[in-house]
Structure 1
Amino acid sequence: MAGVALAALRSDEHTGSLDPRSTTPYGSKALSRLLADRGVHTKVLTRSTALPRQVAPDSTLLVPFPNSLTEQERKGLREATRHSGRTVLLAPNPEATAALLPGIRALARTPVQPTPPDCDFPAARRAGDADLGGYGYTTDTDRNESCYLRNGHATLLRVDPSNSDENTSGGDTVLLGAPDPLHNRNLDKNGNASLTLQLLGSHSQLLWYLPADAAPTDDQERGFFDLLPRGWSWAVAQLAVAALLAALWRARRLGPLVTEHLPVAVPAAEATEGRSRLYRKANDRGHAADALRAASRSQLAPLVGVPRTQAHVPEALLPALTDRATSQPPPGPDGPSLDETTLRRLLFGPPPPNDTALLHLADRLDRLEQHYISPGSLPHH
């Protein structure tokens, strides 16, 4: 409900690209404000049928998305340019250029970057370097002015009205290879503001032709983060702070261990069986063998005079077992050999490769323990 209410309250906001009413980074409200301060009235036109009635010799016509226009809209635009004081086309592609200005060719795009004017066009010379690139344009006549050259092609081309029989009563036409100088985020960089103010502020009225369904085409696509609404970064930051506070609130408190009584008593046999089932389920023969060997070492150490704290140290346990074995009779034909190498492999060796080897290890450890326990101390089985 809160989202619906906010959407309703903000439904009249304009956030489109190159919209003179938009304050987003890709909008053009900053440019519209600067033009208004200089006495230029900006009027947004959304229908092609309104062009013939609004266009006049004292007006400038700006077309932000010429590539998105239909054939009918392009026909109306060609008719309107005959009576306009100046027409500015932003980044027309080869198809749109051929349809609107037959004598001009659009070439491959180049990256947008600060570019010197390299021409005698007064607006370009006064502006200096500007962020231009995008499409390059070529012309067969020297009367057209080619500025901001990239790879030898103009990214700003001023078409003289005398070069076209159709535009003898109209003003000039300016093609910009990229719309970047008009964006809010770029207006204060290099000579972008000076260039755009001179191109669009030469007449008292600016007609901003922005059809309702106009949108950037594939050659004017923006990145994913550019399409996210304003304030998303603040929302992410607030969520991160909230998550951090929740983690601190619910985190374990550090402190001394607290003993507590178990709710039930578990017999040792059941605990051992449950642990062995876990080892078997995980196919963890290594830990199972370690548990068997550790139990055998703990059992054998007191029998040969080694403290339990040294039971798991090979240098302390193995010599004592070997010395004791020399005074004992052999363990029998099926028992393990009692030399130090065999004892080390048996009590401190690698994990068994399979279940059969694990069972064999358990049997050998059991026989080894029985060998060191006197027959009188053996428990009754």
Structure 2
Amino acid sequence: MTEATIVTTSASRTPHQIWLRVRGLLLTLLILIVAGITFAAVGSGDQHGRLDPRSADPYGSRAVAELLTDRGVSVSVATTLDEATGASGPDTTLLVAGPNLLTAHQQLRLRTATGDAAGRTVLVAPGPPSVTRLAPGVRADPASRVTARTPDCEFPAARTAGTADAGGNRYTTDVHGATACYPDNGLPTLLVLPGRGTGDTVLLGSPDILHNDRLDLEGNASLALQLLGSRPHLVWYLPSLTDPSAAEGDANGGSEDGSREDESGGERGFIGLIPSGWLWGTLQLALAAGLTAVWRARRLGPLVTEPLPVAIPASESTVGRARLYRKANARDRAAEALRSATRTRIAPLLGVSSRDTRSPEVLLPAVSARLATTGSDLRTLLFGPAPADDAALVLLTDQLDALEREVRTS
């Protein structure tokens, strides 16, 4: 009997097989990236962020900026502290959209500059401890719910606007001449502090009256236009994390651990500085990856049999399985199926029980005694490694057929 030369091969998938399996997933990922970049580019002209006078988003402030422009007030955007302080003056209103994002050093610089300018400064939702630096003598109390409130004060802008959406941070102060409006449980949510000359500082507990989606409610538009339109020029300061002035003074960014405060006055960590859109996008991608893993994962557990609607000839099942093995280059499994079938068929002829067909110590001596064939040849034939190529697999099939015929005729 001719002995086949069997060469051990790796069961790992080839690069071509890996490419065929992952190309669909990579194409889907590429489409998602291109779509995201396209949508970002298309919407970049109108969407800049919260309280941005260029943004038409519900939480942007484009509507109030355009109304002010129609009334002759020039509106300019500043993203650095130097731009904001350089543009301040007696005929200018400086709106600080995110005072809690400023470092302690920036807050002190801003307070000094606005105190000397004798204009109006509007601080949007300053919380502790930023309010103590930007408005000495004022303390911020826990935030309240934003709802329609009456002014209950003599401040002309508030009396003209009447009921407006107010709330958020509440303030207490011992500054002489301060005007407290829109109180909640006795604490004002809008506080006006007198300044140098005709200047003043307005602490707005909540930014809601400046949002596009709430400007047409209650007296929000009237209050916003009067607060921001009392001077011919409005500088809309949007603090930026890339502002070079943030590295000056306190290099840790205004706190001992380098974190910043959120709009309600609490500490913001790294996650709090990430835009919410990125967080939602990451969550959606993680969910999609998880579903893809479940979809493509190997199913574990025993096979479940079920009755077929039609009878399938054994030859067709054999051919179908052989084609699947060939498509997957699974010569190891094909060879094991052939060897197992041969061992199962010759075992009764040799007087070996079916449970010992996988035991070389029991089956090989019985075959050797029957055919007087060397044990090494039989071990390679019945229990050897996977064939190296298709030709070796065909040769193995012929040798197994020859062995079975010898056992039957001997």
TM-score scaled by structure 2? 0.51
Higher relative contact order (CA 8 A, sep 6+): 2
CA contact (8 A) 2:126 2:264 kept: no
CA contact (8 A) 2:127 2:263 kept: no
Paired position in structure 1 for 2:235: 207
CA contact (8 A) 2:88 2:94 kept: yes
How far has the Cα of 1:13 moved from its partner? 4.2
Match status 1:172 vs 2:200 = yes
**For 1:59, which of 92, 96, 111 is the aligned residue?**
92
Paired position in structure 2 for 1:41: 74
CA contact (8 A) 1:129 1:191 kept: yes
CA shift digits 1:143-194 (9 cap, x unpaired): 1111101010111111012xxxxxx356001101111110111101101000
Distance 1:9 1:73 in 2: 34
CA shift digits 1:259-278 (9 cap, x unpaired): x9833599xxxxxxxxxxxx
C-alpha change, 1:154 and 1:3, in structure 2 (3 Å) is closer
CA shift digits 1:302-351 (9 cap, x unpaired): xxxxxxxxxxxxxxxxxxxxxxxxxxxxxxxxxxxxxxxxxxxxxxxxxx
Distance 1:93 1:201 in 2: 24
**For 1:217, which of 253, 262, 283 is the aligned residue?**
262
How far has the Cα of 1:101 moved from its partner? 1.4
Paired position in structure 2 for 1:134: 168
CA contact (8 A) 1:83 1:170 kept: no
Match status 1:31 vs 2:64 = yes
Match status 1:181 vs 2:209 = yes
How far has the Cα of 1:80 moved from its partner? 2.1
Distance 1:37 1:105 in 2: 36
Percent of pairs identical after alignment?
A: 47
Distance 1:212 1:228 in 2: 18
Structure 1: unaligned runs, 5 residues or longer: 162-167, 233-259, 267-381
Paired position in structure 2 for 1:311: none
Other structure's SS at 1:134 match: strand
CA shift digits 1:116-152 (9 cap, x unpaired): 0001111000101111111111122451111101010
Distance 1:94 1:38 in 2: 35
CA contact (8 A) 1:32 1:42 kept: yes
CA contact (8 A) 2:104 2:130 kept: no
CA contact (8 A) 1:51 1:76 kept: no
Distance 1:196 1:113 in 2: 16
Distance 2:166 2:309 in 1: 76
Distance 2:39 2:175 in 1: 55
CA shift digits 1:195-254 (9 cap, x unpaired): 000000001110011122299826389x9xx9459xx9xxxxxxxxxxxxxxxxxxxxxx
Match status 1:50 vs 2:83 = yes
C-alpha change, 1:218 and 1:100, in structure 2 (3 Å) is closer
Paired position in structure 1 for 2:134: 100
C-alpha change, 1:11 and 1:127, in structure 2 (3 Å) is closer
How far has the Cα of 1:104 moved from its partner? 1.1
C-alpha change, 1:265 and 1:2, in structure 2 (3 Å) is closer
Distance 1:131 1:73 in 2: 30
How far has the Cα of 1:67 moved from its partner? 0.8
C-alpha change, 1:11 and 1:192, in structure 2 (3 Å) is closer
C-alpha change, 1:64 and 1:135, in structure 2 (3 Å) is same
Paired position in structure 2 for 1:294: none
Other structure's SS at 2:216 match: coil
Paired position in structure 1 for 2:408: none
Give the aligned residue type for 1:115.
R
Match status 1:197 vs 2:225 = yes
Give the number of the structure whose alpha-carbon radius of gyration is greater.
Answer: 1
Other structure's SS at 1:19 match: coil
CA contact (8 A) 1:83 1:169 kept: no
Misfit runs of 4+, over 6 Å: none
Give the aligned residue type for 1:219.
S
CA contact (8 A) 1:94 1:106 kept: yes
